[in-house]
Amino acid sequence: MDRLLITGITGFIGRNVLKELMNTCPDYSITALVRPQTHPNRYSEFGKDLRIIEIDLADTASLKEFLFTNEFDTILHIGALRGGRKFPKETYLRSNVYSTGQMVEYCLAKEARLIYCSSVGVFGAIPQELPAGPETEKNPDNYYHYTKIESERIVNRAILNGLKASIIRPSIAYGEGDFGFPYQLVKLVDKYMFPLINRPIWIHLCHIDALVKAFVYLATNEWKSGLTLTIADREPVRLQALVDFISRQLHNKNYPGALTFDRIFFAWGEKLARMLKNELWISRFELISKSWFYDVTAYYDIMEREGIKPHFTIPEFEITIKDYQKH
């Protein structure tokens, strides 16, 4: 029986990964870490077969004590404190970097495997080259992205010392139950409030199932230590094509051309957001006015060998549209 530890199960990615693991690996002994005072409703769907332990990842002393008084074969470290600069830098470091260091220390000592969830954010909100690939320069443009870069360094340094680890870099995920950027895009298009730039922009989203398959594959198969996979749909999609697709699904017609704007509008919006040091609005202006896509060859080479079909944003983005209509 494999003994597995997973973090981040109350988030969109972790919840879906755990659900699939429990369905496909019923013989696994799975323990999940959640923050203290997390409402049981957020994990009750998993039933009594899941062992729940309340530990704040930022409490590295308690985390270390727990790890070294338990035995695990594999750790899926998905949990992290998100948001560009929503909290002080030290808070991000404790929650994201120091906790990863504890996971690495344990896995080295116990010869356990580590599957670490990083982010395409290691390239910054907008990569400096397209498609962003293994050699693309990292860009710590906010605290969250900085912690992912630092955590990857810790993992990769430990790999040189014998750690068995892999790194997953998800793009922005979409699917049922998430209310982030993809969901908000649908909402704005529905209300004719989305400002569409009047030039071709390519974006690269990730169907949640593609991400789940990557984690489950790594948790249930052997692989070479140091494997790093960037996960997104098979191809990027033109932003206007996606907006028109959403509009046709909701209103049976393409998005109105009158709601397209010159790039100077977005440049001034981003400039104002930077003056105000508003990370949320900086990223919003960047994500809808500049291209961002990634080299996903390594991931799809594995999936094709496994006989798993790729995901394409159009038409599969319909899952987010239907979720929006339900709410």
User: What is the DSSP annotation of 249-308?
Assistant: HHHSSPPPGGGEE-HHHHHHHHHHHHHTT-HHHHHHHHHTTS-B-B--HHHHHHHHHTTP
pLDDT at position 85: 59
With beta carbons less than 8 A apart as the criterion, state whether 35 and 18 touch. Answer: no
pLDDT at position 47: 87
Angle between helices 60-67 and 99-110 in degrees, nearest 10: 20
pLDDT in tens, 229-279: 999 999 999 999 999 999 999 999 999 999 999 999 999 999 999 999 888
pLDDT at position 1: 61
pLDDT at position 278: 84
Give the predicted TM-score (pTM) of the model: 0.96
Regions of the chain short of the pLDDT cut 50: none
With beta carbons less than 8 A apart as the criterion, state whether 249 and 200 touch. Answer: no
Bridge-based pairing of strands 74-77 and 113-117 is parallel
Domains and CATH numbers, the chain: 3-174+204-236+293-312 (3.40.50.720)
pLDDT at position 281: 87
pLDDT in tens, 131-159: 999 999 999 998 999 999 999 999 999 99
